Structure 1
């Protein structure tokens, strides 16, 4: 955060100094007690009673309140500013701080690919700029303030994930971050427990259109079926399209697997650039296209992007190839699961080392609410259409996928388990050096995580290369 004095902040929020001093230097902000972790914090506090013993380790501190507040303890280390309307004053502070930051701010949303796309952008830009960014996948509502204040006069670009757990989430993030570039990687079927319907979920992702500044840039996937349902008529900014199969601004062609990842030819403005994209699967190409388009939009040349992209490090537990039990190859994709990412993972399973036996271990899809049965049934249909030899599901709801596959009558060996123990016992017999085993699930599924750990060979290589390239 750019250091600001309490006097400067008080004028911005139209506050009255009730206690303390105007020259206290503020370097952090918070609107909840548990967010206070540093000295020199300004806390926008709605409570009338303050637990001073909780705050004392972080003195000196400034408190903004719309209540009469009695200060106790080391009063010389506490500054109190009273305002008429706390929420209004809070947003005055937020808007003033964001207005003082004049840099490209990229917001990334989508059902899958958010984290990878964000990390690719950060990687590309960090060679020549100081970049503020989302920490791992921490994209919750409570993180927006810290990310905003994490930008200062030395920051030259920023890239943040803006997830959708419920309608209004992107709008809320944009109120803090005010992105200049927005990316929608894709729109699948997720978080239907709060969005209620697929249409509601599409509309929630579509909040990105209104989140951008009037002269902002929206980057969308021209191949994605649900993205095509977005109402873009009222969007007055610039639209950049990416894709593989459609006419678009940044198009990938001649895509093939290699021992290093994926090669593609990037087509843009009638020019072609051959590029390596580390990672596996067509979905990784879409992630790269979105990252390339955003980096190019803020001034990075495509030739330089091609060089920088080669050194991108793929993320742990996201289609990660590792050595497994009995010499089998494990594809660890236990970061998250949606129908969109499931399809992508199955595509990789089928394309990599095609001569090997294909085994898929699939866990439950979460955050579906009343849509749980329908989405798991849809996932089963996706699995049934894939050319794999054996399916194992783990979890009560995941069994719906297995039952759906069985009803289809496809030539696939199907097993269902409630936990990972019996699944592991079966895989100890079924997995051999001629097997490729996909483990697909959610980071919050203990059963899937434990099974993934058990399947990994001890003292394995951190990442395994593809033995036999396939096109």
Structure 2
């Protein structure tokens, strides 16, 4: 309808608030009334089926009239994706997806041009821009595909059309939209259909909920990781070292010594999935092992700090699920064998009507794995403490609504013989403030 067809499209949007740069293609059926808000972002390409009169539209807006905006949008998406015949990795899982994605990116970035999800920014509204981040010189793309509700992974598959899919594990999360654990498992299982039919699916076969995913329709290749003898990438002789985890990787009748920074057996599984993925892209296991040695653990993911009163603090305040709580408690016990072990636990979010049951399950985990002192912060987190007491945990248990009294107690009970785990999520201001108050400095890693 209007404007030049020589403008380069660099960004995409399907909502007005997504327009933040010039050279954006905006696909919308809604009538734009306040054009002044869009003036800073011209030239702008508007793809619309609204019956505008030409004089309504400012000169800086290139206008393309289509019969159906949604149909035009998906034609644009599919056209763009199929310009690139490169490996595209999609990663989902309740825990470990960001770390696994960063490990893969770290290994490949030494020799390849990689585009990837930024940290854990994996919102469905970012899919289009992540797709458009693939450029002519991009050699590999790696994207997190989180589940907020059913259909999210299928939607991601429509954008990215992954050639390699990874399911790290499936716990209990986002039950406010998935309603039940079975619904959540089914939502994660959408990865099976999202992958290219000739692609590869990497799974942890020892994860109980992942084993419930129906994979019978998948015609690609399934790669199994874990400790079982049937695994394609198998870990054995797993042990803690001063700076991380050491293990032996078995693949095709050969064995390799692997070191990975970051503590916990779950970190070994992240490394197995990462090595399996890059191996599919032609990186040898020895090459991957060398690159993993310089991997840096993510902030607030089981980070060690020198705490107040010469204690040791484990900051694991990025997210909390029962899956990640179990992993964190195992790390607390492994690093604190000769110390007093204190667990400070916050509320588990996004659980909907299953909140009470999941918090009770967290209390059961703490009772079974064991700590020397349990402190919960927040109203819902009190359910964790109450259930642990009900099960007969037999250690001092405290519950506080906020961090003020919690810090006072910790200040009185921690010393050089104490290791403290603070476990919560990024949305808990109280938990983050407490972790900040408890830190003296970061522990040396060498």
Q: Report the Cα distance in structure 1 between the residues aligned to 2:289 and 2:33, rounded to whole angstroms.
A: 54
Asked whether the equivalents of residues 35 and 58 of structure 2 are also in contact (C-alpha less than 8 Å), the reply is: no
Q: Report the Cα distance in structure 2 between the residues aligned to 1:49 and 1:258, rounded to whole angstroms.
A: 60
Asked whether the equivalents of residues 223 and 246 of structure 1 are also in contact (C-alpha less than 8 Å), the reply is: no
Shift of 1:21: 2.4
Q: Report the Cα distance in structure 1 between the residues aligned to 2:181 and 2:194, rounded to whole angstroms.
A: 20
Q: Report the Cα distance in structure 2 between the residues aligned to 1:347 and 1:267, rounded to whole angstroms.
A: 24
Q: Report the Cα distance in structure 1 between the residues aligned to 2:253 and 2:222, rounded to whole angstroms.
A: 18
Gaps of 5+ in 1: 1-17, 467-471
Match of 1:218 among 191, 201, 211: 201
Gaps of 5+ in 2: none
Q: Report the Cα distance in structure 2 between the residues aligned to 1:288 and 1:379, rounded to whole angstroms.
A: 26
Asked whether the equivalents of residues 323 and 464 of structure 1 are also in contact (C-alpha less than 8 Å), the reply is: no
Partner in structure 2 of residue 279 of structure 1: 262
Partner in structure 1 of residue 390 of structure 2: 407
What TM-score do you get using the length of structure 1 for normalisation?
Answer: 0.93
CA root-mean-square deviation: 1.3
Aligned residues, how many?
A: 446
Shift of 1:465: 4.3
Partner in structure 2 of residue 162 of structure 1: 145
Partner in structure 2 of residue 13 of structure 1: none
Asked whether the equivalents of residues 243 and 263 of structure 2 are also in contact (C-alpha less than 8 Å), the reply is: no
Partner in structure 2 of residue 298 of structure 1: 281
Partner in structure 2 of residue 8 of structure 1: none
- Tell me whether 416-425 or 60-69 shows the greater mean CA deviation: 60-69
Is 1:40 aligned to residue 23 of structure 2?
Answer: yes
User: Counterparts of 1:226-237 in structure 2 under 5 Å?
Assistant: 226-237=209-220
Q: Report the Cα distance in structure 2 between the residues aligned to 1:264 and 1:185, rounded to whole angstroms.
A: 19
> Are residues 245 and 428 of structure 1, via their aligned partners in 2, closer, same or farther at CA, if it must alter by over 3 Å?
farther
Partner in structure 2 of residue 196 of structure 1: 179
Asked whether the equivalents of residues 25 and 47 of structure 2 are also in contact (C-alpha less than 8 Å), the reply is: yes
Shift of 1:246: 5.1
What TM-score do you get using the length of structure 2 for normalisation?
Answer: 0.98
> Are residues 47 and 113 of structure 1, via their aligned partners in 2, closer, same or farther at CA, if it must alter by over 3 Å?
same
Is 1:238 aligned to residue 221 of structure 2?
Answer: yes
Partner in structure 1 of residue 271 of structure 2: 288
Match of 1:91 among 64, 74, 77: 74
Q: Report the Cα distance in structure 1 between the residues aligned to 2:336 and 2:388, rounded to whole angstroms.
A: 24
Partner in structure 1 of residue 312 of structure 2: 329
> Are residues 464 and 343 of structure 1, via their aligned partners in 2, closer, same or farther at CA, if it must alter by over 3 Å?
farther
Asked whether the equivalents of residues 320 and 423 of structure 2 are also in contact (C-alpha less than 8 Å), the reply is: yes
Match of 2:344 among 342, 357, 361: 361
Is 1:453 aligned to residue 436 of structure 2?
Answer: yes
Residues 104-132 of structure 1, C-alpha deviations (whole Å, 9 max, x = no match): 00001000001100100100010110100
Is 1:124 aligned to residue 98 of structure 2?
Answer: no
Q: Report the Cα distance in structure 2 between the residues aligned to 1:71 and 1:250, rounded to whole angstroms.
A: 61
Partner in structure 2 of residue 260 of structure 1: 243
Partner in structure 2 of residue 69 of structure 1: 52
Match of 1:418 among 401, 405, 409: 401
Is 1:386 aligned to residue 335 of structure 2?
Answer: no
Asked whether the equivalents of residues 118 and 160 of structure 1 are also in contact (C-alpha less than 8 Å), the reply is: yes
Q: Report the Cα distance in structure 1 between the residues aligned to 2:232 and 2:419, rounded to whole angstroms.
A: 36
Q: Report the Cα distance in structure 2 between the residues aligned to 1:456 and 1:397, rounded to whole angstroms.
A: 25
Is 1:206 aligned to residue 197 of structure 2?
Answer: no
Q: Report the Cα distance in structure 2 between the residues aligned to 1:260 and 1:326, rounded to whole angstroms.
A: 23
> Are residues 148 and 105 of structure 1, via their aligned partners in 2, closer, same or farther at CA, if it must alter by over 3 Å?
same
Asked whether the equivalents of residues 305 and 439 of structure 2 are also in contact (C-alpha less than 8 Å), the reply is: yes
Asked whether the equivalents of residues 168 and 270 of structure 2 are also in contact (C-alpha less than 8 Å), the reply is: yes
Shift of 1:77: 2.1
Q: Report the Cα distance in structure 1 between the residues aligned to 2:81 and 2:237, rounded to whole angstroms.
A: 42
- Tell me whether 77-86 or 374-383 shows the greater mean CA deviation: 77-86
Shift of 1:222: 1.0
Q: Report the Cα distance in structure 1 between the residues aligned to 2:139 and 2:106, rounded to whole angstroms.
A: 14
Q: Which runs of 4+ in 1 moved over 3 A?
A: 70-76, 463-466
Shift of 1:334: 0.3
Is 1:180 aligned to residue 180 of structure 2?
Answer: no
Give secondary structure in 2 for the equivalent of 1:37: coil
Q: Report the Cα distance in structure 2 between the residues aligned to 1:171 and 1:34, rounded to whole angstroms.
A: 24
